[in-house]
Amino acid sequence: MMLGAVDANASTGAARATDEPLLAARGLTKRFGGVAALDDLNLDVRNGEILGLIGPNGSGKTTFFNVVTAIYSADAGTIAFDGTDITRAASPAVYHAGISRTFQRSRLSLPLSIFDNVMIGNHKRLNQGLWFNLVRRRAFTAEFKANFAEAQALVASFDPPLATRMFEPIAGLPMIDRRRIEICRALISRPKLLLLDEPSAGMTHDETQQLMENILGVRDRMAGLTIVIVEHEMAVIERITDRCVVLNFGRKIAEGAFASVAANRQVQEAYLGLQ
Amino acid sequence: MPSQLNKAAVSIIPGAGALALATLYLIAMLRVESQTTILVLLGIGAAVVVVAHWLGWLAPVALSFQERDDALARLAVVAVVAIAGYFREDHFVLLLLCTVLLYTVATLGLTIQFGYAGVLNFAGASFFGIGAYTSALFTQHTTVPHLVVLLVGGIMAALVGCLLLLPVLRTRGHYAAVVTIAFALLLKTFLEVNDVLGGPQGLKVKGLSMLGWSFNDNIEIGHLEMSFYVSYLAASLLMLIGAFVIVRRLERSWVGLNLDALRLDETAARCFGLNIVRWKVTAFLLGNFLIGAAGALYGMLVGFVQPNSYTFADSLIFVSILLLGGIGNPWGVVVATVIVVILPEKLQAIQEYRFLLYAALVMMVLLFRPEGLLPRPVRSYLPGWRP
């Protein structure tokens, strides 16, 4: 199954990784009718790495994210995260365990402000008690101000001008800012694992470059953050990932550093249809 | 607007001015009897709003209501007291004002349910009626203090609402609406055949009395004589203040954010840890509590309750108030209730056609101003605060 050579010391990120995988999928299968979107998939995500998940359209990359975050339930197989089994956990539990994600078609709440959207991602760190929220306004005010400062600093680390517009609705913002806010929403709760689903979709080449700088910056600031990124832009994958996994028809066909994966004959066949 | 937001403090004057004008206009409207004068007044009111909009005078008003909300709410209370003082001997006008205040409380309940959590409730009047029936039973058969009865009315509406929780949580959008419509029809039939609850004739409700003071006696202070409805107006106003504070604080908190998040995108909300069931149930029960408490006081106010007083048609009035005023904006609810309740009472010509009028109004709003007369602004957690 595993054809690409596993490159042990591909980059600095991998050097930080420990042996125990942060996320381990075993025999993971998801069928839609007769189509197996994930077919007996075994996949490890190592601590601290940036893993690129690539493959042709329909190869099961987004389905993998959706199964991990329990938007879909797996038909077979297991997912372990940080030592615990999360195969049957519901989406909120997966989030509480420390996995955050972005969506291929950005799922921000357009009428809400930038701050509101970022705070939606901070659910587990906010006091959700009805009494606290309705009656203890002084305590709420303190919590609000602390969280505002944190959210503003996070947005500013992506784009300083954006952080001056925290109470403007998302609806008027360009795509790159929406992507930034979506990533901020996923990061504000300080997850252990960040799943990025095609962050460059719908952006120009320059915007993609800027966003990738942002993502690399985040990884440097947030020690121990592990990222899985689904991406079609091979330049992006080459630039930011430590390791790649290639999917085709829901199966893993190759794994390793980008260069070795790109040289793999089966990968070339899957992408280009070479015989 | 961003440039205005950067100023040190937003002026209260545009909002206060608009409030004063609206108060005077309302007094004039409630005072005149001749149908032609009323029509002329209506024409003037509409023209003033259109011209002000045209000249861009409405934006500062909206801004000061957004940022100086707390101060303006206090002024609005003063305005209501002023209007009540002016009409202190007029039973009819005071009853009308009480109706406006209590309908506003009920539609604030719907604002929590539909405006924030996105749970449609076409049985608003039914829960209002449940509150009224509760106060009928408790005032006739028990000696429970009437203040407690109001709370019990709200709790009963919330409890009966629990029957609807399962179907409402398992259906979406239109289907949830159909479930609540079915409930409204079933409840009406149940009340009509139930002899304990008075059948089609309904029940009498005793008037509110508190600390030995009966609200149904006229008030005399020295030479000043006042209608007994003034005391009901005070009680209704207090209830509205309470409901307004609850809705305001709810919106300006993480809970309000949760409700918005689940309304706008349930899947994304779940991926960020939101327990959808918990927050939908919270919103539904809290909304029903407000509707039921308002209904309990309304029952005491009018003195009787029957199945026909709170029908599906009345639920539609509540929903049309919500759509007309601006979904999720409590100030919009206030304005829309004033229009929807007072207009048909003053314009006798249209009284029979009032449902036609509501339908036309709602359609016009949905066509030309889909966010309602006063669209809901972006949430500001601490009014007037800026980074």
For residues B197 and B125, the model is more confident at: B125
If we measure between CA atoms, which residue out of B223, B227, B251 comes closest to residue B301? B227
Residues A93 and A199 in one domain: yes
Same domain, B133 and B268: yes
Number of domains in chain B: 2
**Between B330-346 and B312-325, two packed helices, what is the crossing angle to 10 degrees?**
120
- Domain of B44 in residue numbering reads as 1-86
pLDDT tens-digit series, residues A208-243? 888 888 888 888 888 889 999 998 888 888 888 889
Q: Do the chains contact at B382 and A144, CB–CB below 8 Å?
A: yes
* In chain A, residues 52-81 whose CB comes closer than 8 Å to chain B: 69, 71
What the block records as the tokens of B236 is 């209704």
**Are residues B43 and B180 located together in one domain of the fold?**
no
- Judged by average pLDDT, the poorest of A127-131, B199-203, B291-295 is B199-203
Neighbour count for residue B41 (Cβ, 10 Å): 16
Q: Is residue A104 part of a domain?
A: no
Q: How far apart are CA B139 and CA B44, in angstroms?
A: 45
- Nearest C-alpha of chain B: how many angstroms from A91? 5
d(CA B180, CA A126): 33
Higher pLDDT, B277 or B175: B277
Does B314 contact A at CB distance below 8 Å?
Answer: no
pLDDT tens per residue, range A14-72: 444 456 889 998 998 999 988 888 889 899 999 889 999 988 888 888 999 999 999 99
Residues B34 and B62 grouped into a single domain:
yes
- The verdict on B218 touching A (C-beta cutoff 8 Å) is no
Task: Return the residue matching tokens 């940036």.
Answer: A50
**Do B103 and B72 belong together in one domain?**
no
- Determine the straight-line distance between the first and last CA of chain A, rounded to whole angstroms: 19
Query: Does the pLDDT value for residue A133 go beyond 50?
Result: yes
CA A12 to chain centre: 20
Look at chain B and count its residues.
387
The pLDDT tens digits for A134-166 are 888 899 999 999 999 999 999 998 889 999 999
Residues B153, B181: one domain? yes
**Number of domains making up chain A:** 2
pLDDT tens readout for residues A96-126: 999 999 998 889 999 999 999 999 999 999 9
Higher pLDDT, B309 or A16: B309
Q: Given this model, what pLDDT does residue A2 score?
A: 40
- Residue B378 included in any domain: no
Question: Is residue A166 less than 8 Å (CB to CB) from chain B?
Answer: yes
**Interface contact flag, A96 B273, Cβ < 8 Å:** yes
Q: Which residue among A157, A189, A221 closes a domain?
A: A189
pLDDT of residue A183: 92
Pairing of strands B304-305, B203-204: antiparallel
> Residue B222's pLDDT band (boundaries 50, 70, 90)?
low
DSSP symbol at B204 = E
Domain of residue A163: give its range.
114-189
3 state DSSP class of B203: strand
Q: Read off the pLDDT of residues B64-86 as tens digits, 9 standing for 90 and up.
A: 888 888 888 889 999 998 888 88
Residue B282 has pLDDT above 60, yes or no: yes
pLDDT of residue A8 exceeding 70: no
Assign 3-state DSSP to chain B and report helix, strand, coil percentages, each to 5.
75, 5, 20
Residue B275 in contact with partner chain A when CB distance is under 8 A: yes
Contact A168 B254 (CB under 8 A): no
Residue B382 belongs to some domain of the structure: no
Confidence bin at B1 (pLDDT 50/70/90)? very low
Same domain, A5 and A69: yes
A4 and A82 both lie in a single domain: yes
Q: Is A137 exposed, middle or buried (0-12, 13-18, 19+ CB in 10 A)?
A: middle
Q: Is the dihedral angle over the CA atoms A174, A177, A183, A186 positive or is it negative? A: negative
A185 lies in the same domain as A54: no
SS3 sequence, B281-346?
HHHHHHHHHHHHHHHHHHHHHHCEECHHHCCHHHHHHHHHHHHHHCCCCHHHHHHHHHHHHHHHHH
Same domain, A4 and A73: yes
Quote the pLDDT of residue A10: 41
Alpha carbon of A106: minimum distance to chain B alpha carbons (Å): 10
C-alpha span between B386 and B380 (Å, rounded): 9
Q: With an 8 Å Cβ cutoff, is B266 touching chain A? A: no
Give the pLDDT mean for A182-208. 90
With 0-12 / 13-18 / 19 or more C-beta atoms within 10 angstroms meaning exposed / middle / buried, residue B213 is exposed
Assess B123–A contact: CB distance below 8 Å, yes or no: no
Query: Domain with B212 in it: what CATH number?
Result: 1.10.3470
In this structure, are B126 and B231 located in the same domain? Answer: yes
